[in-house]
């Protein structure tokens, strides 16, 4: 598994497997969008439409909120009203909505929403561990005759540095 | 997914009993690896989020850690692989605790795209542990730095 025998072949096969997995995932994970629903309102009436992936809350109105950050801004109707949902313009969020057909085409109606007001903080604090590990890696790993070598690790003798 | 401070702190705590010493940094890298390979892509480009999902699958991570190990000197490859893959598992288990409104993690990718989650902690709940997890990762850094001193 780890020998130099067929090393290039192993590297190529593993790369291919990983890339193919990513490509297959991109094709397999399809979620219904408002645009698709509006293209055929009768076919999608009552279907669930997730609203997530990098979108933020736009204007908050008493009976609806606007979704920003996507290709185009659109509204989500909130049957019970937006008061009490703790929505704040600019926050990231995830929501499950239902497409409803109307005379003008259709609209999304909120089923459940989860605001993520701390998502930016999460992204910012995540930089620190990346920097710490990067510094340690630069310090711990060196290049030796074309291979990476972990300093102070005795390889098969294993654990002698513990 | 929890923040990376929580993931590194979890990697540090779970790596302590293993007495990893100088190779602890590889275990720590494994604890961050699934997000390091996905977040830099899907945060600025949300449309590619599905393509990054396999980096939270034990099967794809197995291949990835094996691939990474092959770039190391032959006598260190096995150890590098297990350290990286072990670190990845701490990440996957922590992610599994997260509740998802939409989807979850495709643990069986690329063989199945069904998503799974135990789900009792919100994605931002882990930030409450920052006052504890930040000192922990700084301690992990100091200990790993001192052990990396050339002799």
Q: What is the pLDDT of residue A162?
A: 30
CA-based nearest distance B3→chain A, Å: 6
Q: Which residues of chain B have pLDDT under 70?
A: 1, 148-151
Which has more confidence, A72 or A101? Answer: A101
Q: pLDDT tens across A1-32, in order?
A: 888 899 999 999 999 999 999 999 999 988 88
Who among B7, B22, B39 is closest to A161 (CB)?
Answer: B22
Residues of chain A contacting B147 with CB distance shorter than 8 Å: 152, 161
Q: In this predicted complex, what is the ipTM?
A: 0.88
pTM for this entry? 0.86
Q: Using a CB-CB distance cutoff of 8 angstroms, which residues of chain A are in contact with residue B112?
A: none
- For an interface test with B, the pick among A21, A96, A97, A134 (most B C-beta atoms closer than 10 Å) comes out as A21
Asked if A148's CB is within 8 angstroms of B67's CB, the reply is no
The count of other CB atoms within 10 Å of the CB of residue B136 is: 18
- Chain B hits for A151, CB-CB cut-off 8 Å, are 22, 148, 150
Number of Cβ within 10 Å of residue A81's Cβ equals: 11
Q: At what angle do helices B4-15 and B130-147 cross, to 10 degrees?
A: 50
- How confident is the model at residue B110, as a pLDDT? 93
For helices B24-36 and B58-69, what crossing angle results, to 10°? 130
**Cα–Cα nearest to B36, from B1, B69, B9, B70:** B1
Q: What are phi and psi of A139, to 5 degrees?
A: -75, -30
Q: What per-residue confidence (pLDDT) applies to A159?
A: 40
The whole-number pLDDT of residue B117 equals 79
Of A96, A121, A129, the CB nearest to B102: A96
Distance from CA of B87 to the nearest CA of A (A): 13
> What is the rounded distance in angstroms from the CA atom of residue A52 to the CA atom of residue B120?
20
Which member of A2, A11, A116 has the closest CB to residue B123? A116
Asked whether the predicted pLDDT for residue A70 surpasses 90, the reply is: no
3-class secondary-structure state, position B120? coil
Question: Can you give the residue ranges of every domain in chain B?
Answer: 4-43+51-147
Could B43 and A29 be called an inter-chain contact, meaning their C-beta atoms sit closer than 8 Å?
A: no
Q: For the stretch A49-74, what's the b/e string if a residue is b when 16 or more beta carbons lie within 10 angstroms of its beta carbon?
A: bbbbbebbbbebeeebbebeebeeeb
Q: What is the DSSP letter of B37?
A: T
Mutation for testing the B interface, residue in A136, A137, A162 having most B CBs under 10 Å? A136
């Amino acid at each position: 598994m780890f020998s130099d025998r067929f090393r290039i072949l192993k590297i190529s096969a593993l790369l291919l497997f990983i890339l193919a997995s990513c490509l297959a995932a991109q094709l397999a994970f399809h979620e219904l969008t408002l645009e698709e629903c509006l293209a055929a309102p009768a076919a999608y009436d009552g279907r669930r439409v997730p609203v997530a992936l990098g979108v933020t809350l736009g204007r908050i109105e008493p009976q609806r909120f606007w979704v920003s950050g996507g290709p185009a801004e659109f509204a989500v109707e909130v049957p019970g009203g937006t008061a009490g949902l703790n929505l704040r313009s600019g926050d990231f969020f995830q929501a499950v909505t239902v497409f409803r057909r109307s005379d003008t085409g259709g609209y999304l109606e909120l089923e459940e929403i989860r605001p993520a007001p701390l998502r930016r903080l999460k992204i910012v604090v995540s930089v620190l561990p990346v920097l710490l590990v990067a510094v340690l890696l630069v310090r711990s790993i060196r290049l030796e005759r074309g291979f990476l070598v972990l300093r102070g690790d005795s390889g098969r003798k294993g654990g002698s540095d513990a | 997914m929890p923040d990376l401070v929580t993931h590194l702190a979890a990697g540090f705590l779970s790596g302590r009993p293993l007495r990893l010493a100088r190779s602890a940094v590889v275990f720590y890298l494994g604890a961050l690896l699934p997000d390091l390979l996905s977040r830099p892509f899907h945060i600025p480009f949300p449309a590619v989020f599905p393509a990054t999902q396999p980096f939270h699958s034990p099967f794809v991570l197995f291949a990835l850690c094996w691939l990474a190990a092959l770039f190391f000197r032959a006598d260190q490859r096995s150890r590098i692989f297990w350290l990286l893959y072990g670190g990845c598992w701490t990440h996957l288990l922590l992610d599994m605790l997260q509740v998802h409104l939409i989807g979850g993690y495709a643990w069986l990718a690329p063989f199945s795209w069904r998503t799974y989650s135990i789900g009792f902690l919100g994605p931002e709940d882990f930030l409450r542990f920052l006052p504890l997890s930040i000192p922990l990762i700084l301690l992990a850094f100091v200990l790993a730095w001192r052990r990396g001193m050339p002799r």
